[in-house]
């Protein structure tokens, strides 16, 4: 027992916590319990997110809870579940949140099944899934654009976007929730170096390796969510976590069209861009991704809106929602007021915005951590060491991959240098106006140069195979799309030749001759090195643990 409460708070329907009466449990994660509760004064239903007692004794997790309240309480958007206040209810640190009468996206993907991650998903209708993710983009963009009291951007990143945190109401509206591990400027709690947060299968490569994380990391996670919702499986697979991490870092996943027969090509292109390993290759903002998805929806069929999503939710989760409604003892969804009333609730600390948060962090629960927190710290350090070791393996794999690619590029260095030497170096400036020498009249400007072709043809040996972003082009293909920006890396392989890597840019010529060296025929070698011909014995490469 801790402060009169057991490890699970002794929570049960009908228990009174401050001004709230617990109704039905909604869920329990690694950090908190979530219950539906009715405010006894106003009669409205709210969601109470209560920090677990063994975490409440840890100052770091309490600070994470404060940070979630600071960030979430500032966001005002129809696609984000509201956070009203942070209160201490009978010694339990609790977030009072908007009650969403509906279900999560993960429950729609596993209709009627128990809450287990290893269970198979049932893909949603493609256009319904696209509409849900597009609305999720709107909520995340509102969080990404959040500014502080001084008007400066807070650079909020959710960092835990997954089907578990996308909620759907009975009337078909979409709401993002759970900013528990969000990142923002001005947070009181800084992430411990090397600590990985969020759900592994949806993390971006830069989040896994501990690099700089910005809003484009959430966009990558949105791509994973959309892939899973439309195909019924996660994009990055593995028998254990290190294999999943390696697949994410290296960008190894099957295109959706290989998983779901008849997958729309236009939507596949959007997904592939969203799941790019390089942040610069993804959509710059969640709003840009929303526009791309809505553009595809507008040209692919009849409109999909809240009514269609509501019907799908009832088909997938109707019995579950009806059972919960019985537990709530209400006949229709409660209308949530602007904020829960506090007049009838008695004195308790509360928070309505990030600027107003003044709840005392040194409560008896926090002070008890000085005597009872040794085991918690030890367990936390053990998990941290495991994560660091896993990331070390991934970094080794990534560095090995880069070294191999650099070795392949060396063969083209001389040819590239010659090409640069023969390229005109004069700057292309706008020519000055030209005047007629006799009359002084302004002559017509010269005609603009013709637009560059949209494709670039690679001159390669017969039978060569081309790979772009790890995907093989059709047999006989020798042209690749010219990028509007950035660089497209093309791997060229041909029987009897060394592999070659070609970079196509917006300014590449219409045709590029690929220099491919003929492989030398193997000759027998004696087991002992010969100083006159073999000055350096061959060096054996260490095995790749993921091959």
C-alpha to C-alpha distances, 105 to 177, 179, 312, nearest whole angstrom: 12, 17, 11
Q: What angle do CA 444, 450, 453 make, to 5 degrees?
A: 165
| Cα dihedral 177/181/182/183 (nearest 10) | 180
- The answer to whether 354 touches 179, Cβ cutoff 8 Å, is no
Q: Which two tokens stand for residue 150?
A: 């001084």
Q: What residues are paired with 511 via a beta bridge?
A: 457
Q: Which two tokens stand for residue 504?
A: 């196509």
> How many Å apart are CA 198 and CA 204, to the nearest integer?
10
Q: Within 13 Å and on the Cβ side, how many CA atoms surround 202?
A: 23
Residue 398 neighbours by CB distance under 10 Å: 15
* Nearest residue to 461 via CA among 518, 405, 501: 518
C-alpha to C-alpha distances, 202 to 139, 184, 275, nearest whole angstrom: 18, 20, 10
> How many Å apart are CA 267 and CA 279, to the nearest integer?
19
Which of 67, 90, 150, 160 is the catalytic position?
160
- The answer to whether 458 touches 512, Cβ cutoff 8 Å, is yes
> How many Å apart are CA 480 and CA 510, to the nearest integer?
11
Quote the longest CA-to-CA distance of the chain.
102
Is 160 a known active-site residue? yes
* φ/ψ (deg, to 5) at 506: -60, -20
The DSSP bridge pattern shows strands 455-459 and 511-513 to be parallel
- DSSP-H helix ranges across 301-426: 306-328, 364-372, 374-410, 413-421
> How many Å apart are CA 154 and CA 419, to the nearest integer?
46
> How many Å apart are CA 516 and CA 497, to the nearest integer?
6
* φ/ψ (deg, to 5) at 82: -70, 145
Q: What angle do CA 383, 402, 213 make, to 5 degrees?
A: 50
> How many Å apart are CA 195 and CA 208, to the nearest integer?
9
The DSSP bridge pattern shows strands 16-17 and 20-28 to be antiparallel
* φ/ψ (deg, to 5) at 480: -125, 150
Q: Catalytic positions, please?
A: 160
């Amino acid at each position: 027992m801790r402060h009169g409460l057991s490890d699970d708070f002794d929570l049960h329907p009908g228990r009174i916590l401050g001004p709230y009466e617990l109704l039905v449990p909604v869920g329990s994660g690694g950090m908190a319990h979530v219950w539906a509760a009715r405010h006894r004064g106003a009669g409205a239903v709210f969601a109470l997110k209560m920090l677990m007692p063994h975490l409440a004794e840890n100052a770091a997790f309490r600070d994470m809870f404060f940070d979630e309240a600071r960030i979430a309480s500032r966001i005002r958007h129809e696609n984000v579940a509201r956070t009203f206040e942070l209160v201490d209810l009978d010694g339990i640190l609790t977030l009072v949140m908007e009650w969403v009468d509906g279900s999560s996206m993960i429950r729609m993907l596993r209709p009627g099944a128990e809450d287990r991650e290893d269970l198979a998903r049932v893909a949603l209708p493609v256009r319904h899934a696209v509409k849900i993710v597009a609305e999720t983009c709107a909520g995340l963009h509102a969080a990404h654009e959040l500014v502080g009291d001084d008007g400066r951007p807070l650079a909020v990143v959710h960092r835990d976007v997954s089907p578990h945190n996308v909620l759907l109401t009975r009337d078909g509206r979409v709401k993002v929730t759970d900013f528990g591990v969000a990142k923002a400027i001005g947070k009181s709690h800084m992430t411990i170096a090397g600590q990985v947060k969020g759900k592994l299968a949806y993390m971006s490569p830069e989040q896994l390796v501990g690099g700089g994380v910005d809003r484009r990391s959430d966009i990558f996670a949105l791509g994973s969510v959309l892939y899973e919702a439309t195909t019924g499986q996660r994009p990055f697979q593995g028998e254990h976590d290190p294999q999943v991490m390696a697949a994410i870092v290296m960008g190894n996943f099957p295109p959706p069209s290989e998983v779901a027969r008849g997958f729309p090509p236009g939507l596949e292109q959007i997904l592939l861009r969203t799941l790019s390993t390089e942040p610069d290759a993804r959509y710059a903002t969640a709003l840009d991704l929303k526009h791309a998805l809505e553009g595809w929806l507008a040209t692919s069929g009849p409109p999909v809106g809240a009514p269609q999503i509501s019907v799908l939710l009832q088909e997938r989760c109707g019995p579950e929602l009806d059972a919960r409604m019985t537990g709530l003892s209400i006949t229709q969804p409660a209308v949530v007021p602007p904020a829960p009333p506090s007049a009838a609730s008695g004195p308790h600390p509360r928070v309505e915005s990030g600027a107003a948060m003044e709840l005392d962090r040194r409560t008896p629960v926090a002070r008890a951590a000085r005597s009872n927190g040794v085991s918690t710290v030890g367990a936390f350090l053990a998990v941290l060491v495991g994560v660091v070791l896993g990331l070390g393996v991934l970094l080794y794999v990534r560095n090995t991959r880069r070294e191999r690619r650099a070795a392949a590029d060396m063969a083209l260095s001389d040819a590239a240098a010659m090409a640069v030497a023969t390229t005109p170096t004069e700057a292309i400036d706008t020519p000055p106006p030209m005047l007629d020498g006799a009359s002084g009249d302004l002559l017509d400007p010269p005609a603009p140069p013709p637009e560059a072709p949209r494709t670039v043809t690679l001159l390669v040996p017969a039978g060569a195979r081309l790979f772009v972003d790890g995907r093989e082009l059709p047999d006989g293909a020798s042209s690749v799309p010219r990028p509007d920006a950035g660089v497209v890396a093309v791997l060229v392989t041909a029987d009897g030749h060394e592999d070659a890597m070609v970079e196509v840019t917006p300014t590449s010529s219409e045709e590029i001759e690929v220099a491919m060296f003929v492989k030398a025929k193997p000759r027998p070698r004696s087991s002992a090195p010969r100083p006159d011909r073999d000055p350096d014995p061959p060096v054996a490469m260490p095995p790749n643990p993921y091959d």
